[in-house]
């Protein structure tokens, strides 16, 4: 019995000691928390907070300025595109990394999408997508000083090729059909010097689309008039009459066709800048 009472007494004492230690720790924590912060330490904290806010504000301001600069350049380019490239139903312009250094402006990347673009010596271009990089432009003289790369993808519809050829002297009622990957047929009624036919006579021209001297051309494989094949001389005459089908060399936005692919519903071209810059 005595041993049991002794063990109970020791356990109670131990619990009291633990509780006493915990209370001492709590009082020290409260005194530490209530201790006033020194003036120099307070100034350091305030200065760090102000500096952090200033850095965040500066970053946001610079980002906003860059966005505003890009937006202003996009508006200027959009306004100039109808004159430089040609009238269009719509232009979409995206500029990245524009900088204005007074009379000289430079752009890190320019992306343009044009819909139903009209160009000299070409059918209406149903869609063009142009990507240019590292552009340096003289704003005062409105002259391009240097250009890193300039690549374009162009889509042309057969109906637009038909309308383009139909407007040429000597061709009438032109109908164009496409046969992937490279073939095209043209049905028309025509009369040219040295190869005159009654207007009711139909001609069917079959050939391949090729790139010739930076332009899109048709290489005639077979020519039939009223269902009958004709010789070499009429074929040469017809090639001169219909070619080139697409010519993007008109300044100031001159380009050279570099490849062609015939799809079921369109002709897809790639092109690059025709000018060389340092």
Same domain, 142 and 169: no
Same domain, 151 and 162: no
Q: Which two tokens stand for residue 184?
A: 């095209």
Q: Which of 124, 156, 188 is the last residue of a domain?
A: 156
Cβ of 187: how many Cβ atoms within 10 Å? Answer: 16
Instruction: State the sign of the Cα–Cα–Cα–Cα dihedral 33, 35, 36, 42.
Output: negative
**Is 230 within a domain?**
yes
Say if CB 220 and CB 235 are below 8 A apart: yes
- The mean predicted confidence, pLDDT, of the chain is 76
Same domain, 177 and 269: yes
Phi-psi region for residue 115, left (φ > 0), alpha (ψ -120 to 50) or beta? beta
Q: Which two tokens stand for residue 6?
A: 């002794």
**Is 84 within a domain?**
yes
Reported as a single tens digit per residue, the pLDDT across 11-62 is: 444 445 444 445 545 454 444 444 454 555 544 544 444 444 343 334 333 3
Same domain, 199 and 146: no
For the chain, the distance separating the N- and C-terminal CA atoms, rounded to the nearest angstrom, is 107
**Is 164 within a domain?**
yes
Same domain, 140 and 171: no
Reported as a single tens digit per residue, the pLDDT across 151-178 is: 999 999 999 999 999 998 878 889 999 9
Same domain, 124 and 197: no
Cβ of 242: how many Cβ atoms within 10 Å? Answer: 22
**Is 166 within a domain?**
yes
**Is 2 within a domain?**
no
Q: Which of 107, 141, 156 is the last residue of a domain?
A: 156
Count of domains observed in the chain:
2
Say if CB 153 and CB 256 are below 8 A apart: no
Q: How far apart, in whole angstroms, are the C-alpha atoms of residue 207 and residue 223?
A: 9
| 260-111-265-202 Cα dihedral, nearest 10 degrees | -60
Q: Which of 156, 191, 220 is the last residue of a domain?
A: 156
Same domain, 172 and 70: no
pTM of this structure: 0.71
The alpha carbon of 240 is separated from its chain's Cα centroid by a whole number of angstroms, namely: 35
For residue 232, pLDDT over 80 is answered with: no
**Is 88 within a domain?**
yes
**Is 202 within a domain?**
yes
**Is 267 within a domain?**
yes
The residue-averaged pLDDT of 190-201 equals 58
Same domain, 243 and 162: yes
Regarding predicted confidence, which is higher, 6 or 111? 111
Same domain, 163 and 98: no
In DSSP terms, 228 is beta-bridged to: 225
Same domain, 124 and 201: no
Q: How far apart, in whole angstroms, are the C-alpha atoms of residue 245 and residue 122?
A: 7
For residue 68, pLDDT over 50 is answered with: yes
Q: Which two tokens stand for residue 185?
A: 């047929």
Q: How far apart, in whole angstroms, are the C-alpha atoms of residue 131 and residue 255?
A: 13
Same domain, 125 and 220: no
Same domain, 172 and 268: yes
Q: What's the residue count for the chain?
A: 278
Query: Quick one: which of 126, 94, 128, 100 has its CA closest to 113?
Result: 128
Of all residues in the chain, the percent with pLDDT exceeding 90 is 37
Domain that holds residue 120: 63-156
């Amino acid at each position: 019995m005595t041993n049991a009472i002794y063990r109970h007494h020791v356990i109670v004492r131990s619990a009291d000691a633990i509780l006493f230690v915990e209370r001492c720790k709590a009082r020290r924590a409260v005194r530490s928390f209530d201790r006033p912060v020194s003036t120099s330490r307070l100034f350091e904290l305030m200065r760090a907070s102000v500096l952090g806010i200033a850095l965040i504000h500066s970053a946001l301001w610079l980002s906003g300025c860059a966005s505003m600069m890009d937006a202003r350049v996009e508006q200027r380019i959009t306004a100039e595109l109808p004159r430089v490239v040609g009238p269009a139903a719509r232009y979409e312009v995206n500029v990245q990394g524009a900088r204005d250094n007074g009379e000289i402006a430079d752009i890190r990347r320019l992306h343009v999408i044009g819909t139903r673009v009209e160009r000299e010596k070409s059918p209406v271009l149903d869609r063009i997508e142009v990507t240019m990089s590292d552009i340096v432009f003289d704003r005062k003289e409105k002259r391009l000083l240097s250009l890193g790369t300039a690549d374009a993808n162009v889509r042309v519809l057969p109906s637009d090729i038909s309308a383009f050829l139909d407007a040429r002297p000597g061709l009438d009622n032109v109908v164009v059909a496409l046969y992937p990957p490279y073939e095209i047929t043209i049905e028309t009624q025509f009369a040219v010097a040295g190869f005159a036919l009654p207007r009711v006579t139909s001609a069917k021209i079959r050939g391949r689309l090729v790139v010739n001297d930076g332009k899109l051309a048709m290489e005639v494989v077979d020519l039939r008039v009223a269902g009958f094949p004709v010789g070499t001389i009429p074929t040469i005459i017809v090639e001169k009459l219909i070619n080139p089908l697409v010519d993007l060399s008109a300044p100031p936005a001159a380009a050279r066709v570099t490849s062609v692919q015939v799809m079921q519903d369109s002709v897809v071209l790639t092109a690059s800048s025709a000018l060389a810059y340092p």
